[in-house]
Structure 1
Amino acid sequence: MMDIGVGLIGYGLAGRAFHAPYVGATPGMTLRAVVSRDPAKVHADLPGMTVAPDVPTLLAMPDVDLVIVASPDELHAEHALAALAAGRHVLIDKPFATSLADARRIAAEGEARDRIVTVFHNRRWDADFRTLQKLIADGTLGEIVEYESRFDRWRPTPADSWKEARGSGPWQDLGPHLIDQALMLFGRPLAVSTDLATFRAGGPAPDYVSAVLRYPDKRVVLHASKLVADYGLRFAVHGTRGSWIKHGTDVQEAKTVAGQAPAGEDWGHDPVEGRLTCPDDGAGARALANEPGDYRLFWLALAAAIRDEGPNPVPASAGIAVLEILEAGLRSAAERREIML
């Protein structure tokens, strides 16, 4: 098996919880180096790991085949383009880029150099989302007419971090996940209408977003707020045959943040069951166990794609599709009107 050397740019939450542990858990992948200004932080988790002081130093290493871009958002395009110019495959954490123009530049560069460009839309492998995909695919809910997807938090005091200062707040932070899941299920909408607001005193950027994606036969509501004390609701989906309501958040992030390595058959097991109500089946409302979630599947698919043994799990085109909605949503919020797509 070809050994895939990996270089990681950035060791914040994304690098520490979503990337380094999964590289270590993927057969045939080896983390070679991490770009960080805080070697002690890296070595606390990864003793003996090579810590590069900057991106050029990382890209000069001959044994790095894949570069993971987990740097602050505004650096994604710069770092991805540099890695591609150096002949490396690239995995970019969400958001793919901070502008649609940059996203298209990255995709074009990857195609020109015959390198894989993939986007870390890991929420495709959440337990709850995989459960919903199955319910829709097997017709349990009938034709979907209403879909609500939420990532709410209770963070009443803004943190002193660059993430809190993102210009479009949760639309840029959590919006890519919400949008990507909606596009996976329903495809491109006709239009988007978005409301952004800042409700926390002294907040440096919006902390609330509510967006409606308009389809001919359904409405999709995407929502994220940092002032929701009862933040358990994740999905509320209604179709012509039934409804599915899901509370709780996929467990995989919490596990890696707590220091657990991705391992075992029950790694992505979500114990919080959804509630399925199908009036015509006579069973009434009932608990429904979740399909297993597993971010490791993304990494296995990426390794196979690099070896030319399978497709790119999240191609650059998916990232571009998300950026189209993100930018249209920002325009909608600024102009206070629905934007056609």
Structure 2
Amino acid sequence: MTDDRTRTWQPLPTDRPVRVALLGHGLAGSVFHGPLLAADPRYAVTVVMTSSPERAEAARSAHPGVEIVPDADAVWERAGDLDLAVVATPGETHARFGIQALEHGLACVLDKPACTTAAEGAELLDTQARTGVPLTVFHNRRFDGDFLTARRLLREGRLGELVRIESSFEVWKPTVTKAWKAGASPAEGGGVLYDLGPHLIDQAVQLAGPVEGSYAVLRALRAGALADDDAVVVLRHESGVVSHLTASTRARRPGPRMRALGTEGAWTCHGLDGQEKALGAGASPNDGDFGEAGSDRGSVLTTDAGDEAVPLERGDYPRFYAELADALQGRGEVPVDPADAVGVVGLIADLHRRHPVRPRP
């Protein structure tokens, strides 16, 4: 279904909040998108889509006065009173709901992954180009303090010429705790490479440029896992830089979060950015210390002069929605180009095709 708004999308007015429909109120909707939207006065979450009574109650508590609807069709019926759809549902639905939002004239934020196949990605981008309605993807890890620090050090030339990036998201989850994740195949967006890989690959591309070659070892190590829960990816960038990326649920002791090697120095960072943990514990993005690195996070630059402790940049997830509001009101670009996100998914899909998941013997 389409209407005239799909052909005549105009920047939104600045004298009222952006009216948001939040599709999904699980982890992504309740921990990431919901709190960030609630903390920014330029947004108003007016509709939440969920069929769970428990999640509906949580949404009413988080967004007083919100209307709860059971499915996407009910969201689209209200499109005339909405401006933005935030899609925080399981990965295999992202592209479909994103296309429907654009066709109903609603600007759209897709949680990652933006899609699960190259064909879906192409349709998504074609729909955005045809309708002219803004589309972006929640690659929030571009606003992690460690990534911002790595980018700053490279911009300042403190590493010299970049040679290699090592980046990992490693946790210890020895058993499968979510049945829907265990039963999702890679084609449905299942597995750690589709879950965490978009962040790792997107960060590497942002730091080192386009990819010209790739290799992966993908394994399913946990009992009951049908998709990969341990992934090692090597990217060869057109710049000559090589990225070593690791995502795993089987790391009792995680290695460095990030290491960047250059011709003049090396930078190493330990520990995960704390914004996700803080949001999950109920912190507000408006808290004075939100995004600040904890004392458990080490960041060291090593050069001929020795080791130097480097303060981590403050993490800034709220910046995603601040930049989006500017874009929707005609004062800038969307925070993440959807073509970047679709390109990342295309790489992941190709890695799965060329290097199928190796189940545990």
Tell me which residue corresponds to 1:213: 235
1:266 corresponds to which of 289, 299, 309: 289
Compare 291-300 and 201-210 and name the one that shifted more.
Answer: 201-210
Structure 1 residue runs without a partner (length 5+): 337-341
The alpha carbon displacement at 1:240 in A equals 0.7
Compare 176-185 and 194-203 and name the one that shifted more.
Answer: 194-203
Could you tell me how far apart the structure 2 residues matched to 1:79 and 1:274 are?
40
1:82 corresponds to which of 100, 103, 118: 100
The alpha carbon displacement at 1:285 in A equals 1.4
Note if 1:223 corresponds to 2:237: no
Tell me which residue corresponds to 2:28: 14
When the two structures are superposed, what TM-score results if normalisation uses the length of structure 1?
0.93
Could you tell me how far apart the structure 1 residues matched to 2:204 and 2:314 are?
20
Note if 1:37 corresponds to 2:48: no
Tell me which residue corresponds to 1:339: none
Tell me which residue corresponds to 2:320: 298
Note if 1:236 corresponds to 2:250: no
The alpha carbon displacement at 1:335 in A equals 10
TM-superposition CA deviations, 1:286-306 (whole Å, max 9, x none): 321101110111101101111
Tell me which residue corresponds to 2:341: 319
1:191 corresponds to which of 213, 216, 221: 213
The alpha carbon displacement at 1:265 in A equals 4.2
Q: Secondary structure at the match of 2:224?
A: coil
Mapping of residues 175-186 of structure 1, within 5 Å: 175-186=197-208
Tell me which residue corresponds to 1:134: 152
TM-superposition CA deviations, 1:21-41 (whole Å, max 9, x none): 111111211001110011332
TM-superposition CA deviations, 1:305-332 (whole Å, max 9, x none): 1111111111211112212211221123
The alpha carbon displacement at 1:64 in A equals 1.3
The alpha carbon displacement at 1:51 in A equals 0.8
Contact residue 166 and residue 172 of structure 1 kept, 8 A: no
Compare 184-193 and 197-206 and name the one that shifted more.
Answer: 197-206
Contact residue 189 and residue 213 of structure 1 kept, 8 A: yes
- Name segments (4+ residues, structure 1) moved above 6 Å: none
Tell me which residue corresponds to 1:28: 42
Contact residue 157 and residue 200 of structure 1 kept, 8 A: yes
Q: Secondary structure at the match of 1:193?
A: strand
Contact residue 39 and residue 286 of structure 2 kept, 8 A: yes
Q: Secondary structure at the match of 2:257?
A: strand
Q: Secondary structure at the match of 2:81?
A: coil
Could you tell me how far apart the structure 2 residues matched to 1:6 and 1:59 are?
12
2:302 corresponds to which of 277, 293, 300: 277
Compare 59-68 and 86-95 and name the one that shifted more.
Answer: 59-68
Could you tell me how far apart the structure 2 residues matched to 1:79 and 1:190 are?
31
When the two structures are superposed, what TM-score results if normalisation uses the length of structure 2?
0.88
Could you tell me how far apart the structure 1 residues matched to 2:151 and 2:50 are?
38
Could you tell me how far apart the structure 1 residues matched to 2:232 and 2:271 are?
19
Aligned residues: CA RMSD? 1.6
Percent identity, aligned pairs only, is 36
Contact residue 52 and residue 58 of structure 1 kept, 8 A: yes
The alpha carbon displacement at 1:45 in A equals 5.0
Contact residue 266 and residue 292 of structure 1 kept, 8 A: no
Note if 1:334 corresponds to 2:352: no
Instruction: Name the aligned partner's letter for residue 321 of structure 2.
Output: W
Instruction: Name the aligned partner's letter for residue 298 of structure 1.
Output: F
Contact residue 209 and residue 225 of structure 1 kept, 8 A: yes
The alpha carbon displacement at 1:60 in A equals 1.6
The alpha carbon displacement at 1:146 in A equals 1.6
Tell me which residue corresponds to 2:273: 250
Mapping of residues 63-212 of structure 1, within 5 Å: 63-168=81-186, 169-212=191-234
Structure 2 residue runs without a partner (length 5+): 1-13
Could you tell me how far apart the structure 2 residues matched to 1:335 and 1:199 are?
10
Instruction: Name the aligned partner's letter for residue 127 of structure 2.
Output: E
Total equivalences in the alignment = 333
Could you tell me how far apart the structure 1 residues matched to 2:183 and 2:228 are?
8
Contact residue 116 and residue 349 of structure 2 kept, 8 A: no
The alpha carbon displacement at 1:232 in A equals 4.9
Q: Secondary structure at the match of 2:211?
A: coil
Contact residue 208 and residue 224 of structure 1 kept, 8 A: yes
Q: Secondary structure at the match of 1:106?
A: helix
Instruction: Name the aligned partner's letter for residue 245 of structure 1.
Output: T
